[in-house]
C-alpha cells in the first residue's frame, strides 16, 4: 500500500515514511492509494477485543510493518492506560448508542490515536535507520495537546512542542497541558486562535530551509495532528469495534446498517468513519455535526467552503475550527486529481474560500451535515440527563442534537452510533451550567465533585490529580513568534 500526496501525483511513500513525515513537502496530506477491504467478514469481528480489532484494521493500511511490529505497537497502546478493559464501551441512551472514546489518559477521544502514534513513529524511525531526534510540533484546540503530550512524554528519541490558543481552551484543558511533567515536553500559549496555531505549525513543516537547518542540528519535525495518517488510521478501528459491539449486544442484526454521528472540527474523526464504511462496514449515513462555527455544514449544503466569517468561541472548543484540514482528503477523493485538489487548497489559502463542482458535490452523498447552536447544545445535555440520567460533554451533545435533528428531518429509523468524544469531566462548567445552572459559578474542582454526585460516575484520575499539580509551563507568545520559540527551544 503506497501513500500519495493529495497535491501531486509524483510523491508516493510507504506507510512508515508517511507516518514519519506527517505532512507532504508539497503541503498536501498523505492518502492511501486505495481503501482496503476488511480482512475478515464483519461478523467475525463480533466478540473480538479492542486490540485484535485494531490490529486487523490497521494491518490493511500499514503494510510495510511486520505483524510483530504492528502487534507490539497495538499492545503498548491499548493497555491499562485506559480505565476499562473494553477500551471503548458503548452506552445506550434515548435510543442511540454512544461509543465512549474517552476512557484513555486524557479523557478525550484523541487518546485513541495518540496512545499508539508514538509507537508507530519510533517503530518507523527504527525501520528506516533514522538517527535524528523526532520533534513533534502540534497545534491544539485543547484536546490534542494533552493527548499528544501524554503519548510522547519521555518516549526516547522524541520531543514534543505544543501550541494552544491561550484564551481558547477550557480551564481543565489548559491545566492538563501546563502541568505536563514529561522531560521532553514544551507547552506554549499563543495570543491567536487555533487556526493561527495550526497555520503557524504548517508553515514550519513546509519551510525547507528551516527543515535543513534542523536536520543539521540533529532534528526532524513530525506531526501529531490529525493530518498524520498514523493518527487517522487508528481511528478507523473503533468504528469497526463499535459496530461489532452493537452486534454483540443484540442492538442490531447481522449486516444491518447503522448511521454514524460525529462531532466534527478538523474532520479527522468522521473521515476515519468514512474509511470504515469504504472498508465494508455497514454504514448508511455519515452524519457530520458542527457547532456554531458551521463552516462544514455550509460546505455540505452549498458546495462552497468559506472561512471568511466570524469565529466563535463555543462550549465545544475542540470544534472551534474554521479550517478543517482533513477535509482536503475528502476533496481529493471527489476531485479525482491532485491538481484539482491543489488548486482548491491554494484558493482556500489565498482567498479563504473555494467552491466545488456539481459532480464533486454528488460524490458527497454519504454525508449528512447539521449543526447545533450553543442553546441546542446545552439543552441537549439537560434533556438527556433528565430523561436517562446520562451525562454527556458539550462536543458529544452537538452530535446528539444533530442526530435528533436528522431523524426528525428524514424519518430515518436506522440505529445511530454517536461518537462520544470527551468525558463530561473535561468541561464541568458547561455541563453543570446545562443541568444545574444555579451551581455553575463554583470553581472547576468543586464542579467535578458535584458532577460526580449528579451522574454517579467516579471522577477520573486525569481530573482528580490536577487539583494539586504544579504548573510547569508558562510561556506565551504572539503567533508571529512561533518559529523563533521553536528554534530557541531546540538550542537548549
Ligand atoms: C478533537 C475533538 C473533536 C473534533 O474531532 P476532529 O477529528 O477534529 O473532527 C470533537 N470532540 C472532541 C472532544 C475533540 O477533542
The values of phi and psi at residue 325, to 5°, are -55, -45
Task: Say if residues 425 and 460 touch (Cβ distance below 8 Å).
Answer: yes
Cα–Cα distance, 61 to 170 (Å, whole number)? 35
Task: Say if residues 478 and 191 touch (Cβ distance below 8 Å).
Answer: yes
Q: What share of the chain is helix, strand, coil (3-state, %, to 5)?
A: 50, 15, 35
Band (pLDDT 50/70/90 cuts) for residue 25 is: confident
Query: Best mutation site among 198, 395, 462 for ligand 1, i.e. most ligand atoms within 8 A of its Cβ?
Result: 395
419 pLDDT more than 90: yes
Cα 56 to middle of ligand 1, angstroms: 24
Within 193-255, strands assigned E span: 219-223
Q: Is ligand 1 within 6 A of the CB of residue 110? A: yes
Nearest CA to ligand 1 atom 8: 266
When pLDDT is averaged across residues 372-396 and rounded to a whole number, the result is 98
- List the Cα angle 40/256/398 in 5-degree steps: 105
Cα–Cα distance, 104 to 152 (Å, whole number)? 14
Secondary structure letter of residue 422 according to DSSP: B
400 pLDDT more than 80: yes
113 pLDDT more than 80: yes
Lowest pLDDT segment from 71-80, 208-217, 219-228, 373-382: 219-228
Query: Best mutation site among 99, 103, 109, 268 for ligand 1, i.e. most ligand atoms within 8 A of its Cβ?
Result: 109
Q: Which is the closest atom of ligand 1 to the Cα of 235?
A: 7
Q: Is ligand 1 within 6 A of the CB of residue 5? A: no
Q: Is ligand 1 within 6 A of the CB of residue 264? A: yes
142 pLDDT more than 80: no
Q: How many CB atoms lie within 10 A of CB 407?
A: 17
When pLDDT is averaged across residues 443-468 and rounded to a whole number, the result is 92
3-state secondary structure 99-115: EECCCCCCCECHHHHHC
Cα–Cα distance, 84 to 116 (Å, whole number)? 17
**Angle between helices 374-388 and 394-410 in degrees, nearest 10:** 90
Specify the DSSP element, H or E, that contains 51. Answer: helix 50-59
Query: Best mutation site among 99, 264, 431 for ligand 1, i.e. most ligand atoms within 8 A of its Cβ?
Result: 264
471 pLDDT more than 90: yes
23 pLDDT more than 90: no
Q: For residue 97, what pLDDT is reported?
A: 98
293 pLDDT more than 80: yes
Rounded to a whole number, what is the distance in angstroms from the first to the last CA of the chain? 39
Q: For residue 472, what pLDDT is reported?
A: 97
Residue 41: exposure state from Cβ atoms within 10 A (0-12, 13-18, ≥19): exposed
Q: Is ligand 1 within 6 A of the CB of residue 426? A: no
Q: For residue 187, what pLDDT is reported?
A: 97
CA 334 vs CA 61, 260, 275, 327, 378: distances in Å? 20, 20, 14, 11, 35
Cα–Cα distance, 78 to 6 (Å, whole number)? 31
Quick one: cell of 486? 521553536
**% of the chain exceeding 90 in pLDDT:** 87
313 pLDDT more than 80: yes
Sheet holding 415-420, edge to edge: 90-93, 96-100, 415-420, 258-263, 283-290, 367-371
Task: Say if residues 17 and 128 touch (Cβ distance below 8 Å).
Answer: yes
Question: DSSP states of 329-394 as a string?
Answer: HHHHHHH-SHHHHHHHHHHHHHHSEEE--HHHHHTTTTEEEEE--HHHHHHHHHHHHHHH-----H
Q: Is ligand 1 within 6 A of the CB of residue 189? A: no
Within 391-489, strands assigned E span: 415-420, 475-477
Within 246-363, strands assigned E span: 258-263, 283-290, 304-306, 353-355
pLDDT tens digit sequence for 37-92: 999 999 999 999 999 999 999 999 999 999 999 999 999 999 999 999 999 999 99
Tell me the torsion sign for CA atoms 469, 470, 471, 472: negative
Quick one: cell of 199? 497555520
Cα–Cα distance, 458 to 449 (Å, whole number)? 9
When pLDDT is averaged across residues 163-192 and rounded to a whole number, the result is 93
Residue 192: exposure state from Cβ atoms within 10 A (0-12, 13-18, ≥19): buried
When pLDDT is averaged across residues 424-452 and rounded to a whole number, the result is 94
Most confident option among 203-207, 220-224, 380-384, 453-457: 380-384
Task: Say if residues 137 and 159 touch (Cβ distance below 8 Å).
Answer: no
What are the residues whose beta carbons fall under 8 Å from the beta carbon of 67, sequence distance 6 or more? 59
When pLDDT is averaged across residues 18-35 and rounded to a whole number, the result is 92
Q: For residue 206, what pLDDT is reported?
A: 86
Within 94-157, strands assigned E span: 96-100, 133-139
**% of the chain exceeding 70 in pLDDT:** 100
Q: Is ligand 1 within 6 A of the CB of residue 267? A: yes
Cα 290 to middle of ligand 1, angstroms: 10
Q: For residue 224, what pLDDT is reported?
A: 85
Band (pLDDT 50/70/90 cuts) for residue 99 is: very high
Give the predicted TM-score (pTM) of the model. 0.93
Band (pLDDT 50/70/90 cuts) for residue 21 is: confident
Q: For residue 172, what pLDDT is reported?
A: 85
Tell me which residue of 185, 208, 209, 193 sits closest to 139, measured CA to CA: 193
Q: Is ligand 1 within 6 A of the CB of residue 435? A: no
Tell me the torsion sign for CA atoms 356, 373, 246, 69: positive
Q: How many CB atoms lie within 10 A of CB 99?
A: 26
Q: For residue 395, what pLDDT is reported?
A: 98
Which residues are paired to 371 by β-bridges? 290
467 pLDDT more than 90: no
Specify the DSSP element, H or E, that contains 5. Answer: strand 3-5
Q: For residue 462, what pLDDT is reported?
A: 86
Specify the DSSP element, H or E, that contains 12. Answer: strand 8-13
Site of grid cell 472561512: 307
Cα 314 to middle of ligand 1, angstroms: 13
241 pLDDT more than 80: yes
Q: For residue 42, what pLDDT is reported?
A: 98
Q: For residue 222, what pLDDT is reported?
A: 85
Cα–Cα distance, 394 to 318 (Å, whole number)? 10
Quick one: cell of 329? 482528503
Looking at per-residue pLDDT, the higher value among 21 and 418 belongs to 418
Q: Is ligand 1 within 6 A of the CB of residue 122? A: no
Tell me which residue of 57, 1, 82 sits closest to 34, measured CA to CA: 1
| Summary mean pLDDT of the chain | 95
Cα–Cα distance, 342 to 331 (Å, whole number)? 10
When pLDDT is averaged across residues 104-121 and rounded to a whole number, the result is 94
Cα 307 to middle of ligand 1, angstroms: 18
340 pLDDT more than 80: yes
Task: Say if residues 240 and 281 touch (Cβ distance below 8 Å).
Answer: yes
Cα 35 to middle of ligand 1, angstroms: 23
Q: Which is the closest atom of ligand 1 to the Cα of 102?
A: 13
Q: Is ligand 1 within 6 A of the CB of residue 202? A: no
Looking at per-residue pLDDT, the higher value among 130 and 289 belongs to 289
Query: Best mutation site among 269, 322, 325 for ligand 1, i.e. most ligand atoms within 8 A of its Cβ?
Result: 269
Secondary structure letter of residue 458 according to DSSP: P
Nearest CA to ligand 1 atom 2: 318
Amino acid at each position: 500500500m503506497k501513500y500519495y500526496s493529495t497535491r501531486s501525483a509524483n510523491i508516493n511513500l510507504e506507510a512508515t515514511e508517511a507516518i514519519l513525515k506527517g505532512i507532504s513537502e508539497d503541503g498536501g496530506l498523505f492518502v492511501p492509494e486505495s481503501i482496503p477491504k476488511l480482512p475478515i467478514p464483519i461478523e467475525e469481528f463480533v466478540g473480538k477485543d479492542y486490540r485484535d480489532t485494531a490490529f486487523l484494521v490497521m494491518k490493511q493500511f500499514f503494510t510495510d510493518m511486520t505483524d510483530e511490529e504492528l502487534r507490539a505497537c497495538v499492545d503498548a497502546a491499548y493497555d491499562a492506560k485506559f480505565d476499562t478493559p473494553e477500551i471503548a464501551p458503548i452506552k445506550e441512551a434515548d435510543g442511540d448508542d454512544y461509543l465512549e472514546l474517552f476512557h484513555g489518559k486524557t479523557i478525550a477521544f484523541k487518546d485513541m490515536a495518540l496512545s499508539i502514534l508514538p509507537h508507530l513513529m519510533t517503530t518507523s524511525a527504527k525501520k528506516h535507520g533514522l538517527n535524528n531526534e523526532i520533534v513533534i510540533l502540534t497545534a491544539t484546540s485543547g484536546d490534542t495537546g494533552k493527548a499528544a503530550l501524554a503519548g510522547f512524554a519521555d518516549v526516547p528519541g522524541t520531543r514534543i512542542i505544543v501550541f494552544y490558543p491561550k484564551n481558547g481552551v477550557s480551564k481543565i484543558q489548559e491545566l492538563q497541558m501546563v502541568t505536563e511533567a514529561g522531560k521532553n515536553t514544551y507547552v506554549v500559549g499563543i495570543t491567536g486562535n487555533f487556526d493561527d496555531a495550526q497555520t503557524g505549525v504548517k508553515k514550519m513543516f513546509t519551510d525547507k530551509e528551516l527543515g535543513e537547518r534542523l536536520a543539521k542540528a540533529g532534528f526532524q519535525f513530525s506531526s501529531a495532528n490529525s493530518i498524520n495518517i498514523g493518527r487517522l488510521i487508528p481511528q478507523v478501528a473503533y468504528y469497526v469495534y463499535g459496530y461489532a459491539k452493537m452486534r454483540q449486544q443484540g442492538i442490531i442484526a447481522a449486516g444491518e446498517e447503522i448511521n454514524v454521528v460525529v462531532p466534527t472540527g478538523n474532520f479527522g474523526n468522521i473521515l476515519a468513519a468514512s474509511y470504515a464504511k469504504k472498508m465494508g462496514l455497514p454504514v448508511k449515513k455519515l452524519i457530520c455535526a458542527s457547532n456554531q462555527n458551521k463552516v462544514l455544514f455550509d460546505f455540505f449544503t452549498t458546495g462552497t467552503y468559506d472561512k471568511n466569517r466570524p469565529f466563535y468561541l463555543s462550549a465545544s472548543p475542540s470544534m472551534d475550527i474554521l479550517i478543517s484540514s482533513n477535509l482536503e482528503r475528502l476533496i481529493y477523493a471527489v476531485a479525482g486529481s491532485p491538481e484539482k485538489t491543489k488548486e482548491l487548497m491554494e484558493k482556500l489559502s489565498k482567498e479563504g474560500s473555494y467552491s466545488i463542482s456539481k459532480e464533486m458535490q454528488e460524490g458527497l452523498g454519504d454525508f449528512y451535515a447539521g449543526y447545533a447552536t450553543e442553546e441546542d447544545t446545552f439543552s441537549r445535555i439537560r434533556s438527556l440527563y433528565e430523561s436517562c440520567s446520562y451525562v454527556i460533554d458539550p462536543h458529544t451533545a452537538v452530535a446528539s442534537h444533530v442526530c435528533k435533528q436528522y431523524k426528525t428531518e428524514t424519518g430515518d429509523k436506522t440505529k445511530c452510533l454517536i461518537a462520544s468524544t470527551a468525558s463530561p469531566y473535561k468541561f464541568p462548567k458547561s455541563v453543570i451550567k446545562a443541568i444545574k445552572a444555579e451551581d455553575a459559578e463554583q470553581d472547576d474542582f468543586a464542579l467535578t465533585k458535584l458532577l460526580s454526585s449528579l451522574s454517579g460516575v467516579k471522577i477520573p484520575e486525569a481530573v482528580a490529580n490536577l487539583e494539586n499539580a504544579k504548573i510547569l509551563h508558562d510561556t506565551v507568545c504572539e503567533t508571529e513568534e512561533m518559529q523563533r520559540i521553536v528554534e530557541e527551544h531546540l538550542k537548549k
